[in-house]
């Protein structure tokens, strides 16, 4: 699964719209839907903010599964 597919799945499972995610991130209402339509991969900080809005954590898990790093969405504007 690529990043954009993961974002689409996260938004769908959260039961929100791309519009709502963008607005809750403090972005233009069409920001997320335009990004998905263009196929633009978000940076890690934007991905963390989208995950936060959708009720998810962005986590990096080591290949052996013994270690993980959670990426915080950071302060909101």
Q: In this predicted structure, what is the pLDDT of residue 70?
A: 87
Task: Summarize pLDDT for 14-47 with one digit per residue, the tens.
Answer: 999 999 999 999 999 999 999 999 999 999 899 9
Every domain of the chain and the residues it spans: 3-71
- pTM of the complete model: 0.83
List of long-range contacts for 55-59, beta carbons under 8 Å, 24+ apart: 55/14, 56/10, 56/14
Percentage of residues in the chain having pLDDT higher than 90: 78
> What architecture is domain 3-71?
Orthogonal Bundle (1.10)
Cα(41)–Cα(62) distance, integer angstroms = 22
Q: In this predicted structure, what is the pLDDT of residue 75?
A: 63
């Amino acid at each position: 699964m690529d990043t954009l597919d993961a974002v689409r799945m996260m938004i769908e499972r959260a039961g929100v719209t791309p519009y709502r995610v963008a607005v809750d991130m403090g972005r233009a209402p069409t920001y997320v839907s335009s990004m998905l339509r263009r196929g633009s991969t978000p940076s890690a900080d934007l991905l963390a903010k989208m995950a936060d809005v959708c009720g998810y954590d962005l986590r990096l898990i080591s290949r052996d599964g013994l270690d993980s790093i959670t990426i915080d969405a950071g302060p909101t504007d």
